[in-house]
Amino acid sequence: MRGFIHVHHVTPLHKIRSSYFVNPQTDLIPVCPNCHAVIHSKREPLSIEEMRQLLKKGEQGSGLNDHPPSRPVLGRFAPGTDRAVGQS
């Protein structure tokens, strides 16, 4: 499905207290649905850096690298755009 993105919480929701304010620019990471599933496939979620390493190595062999080229796989969106920070 194109144009669909998941948002991964840097701090797991079960660790967030009611007084915690989620900052979308620092606490949320846009990831594709497949990567999000892989991140949460272990008891402790993979870090974004660990997920990047899996993508680089291609260890999964299950289409993890089959992302539409116009969308970020792992990264932050620039405010008010559909572009990842650093992407032109």
39-61 pLDDT, tens per residue? 999 888 999 999 999 888 875 45
Domain ranges for the chain, please list them.
6-57
The DSSP secondary structure of the chain, one letter per residue, reads -TT--EEEESS-GGG--TTPPP-HHHHEEEE-HHHHHHHTSSSSPPPHHHHHHHHHHT-S-SSTT---TTS-SBS-BPTTSSSBTT--
pLDDT value, residue 80: 53
Identify the segments of the chain with pLDDT beneath 70. Answer: 1, 59-88
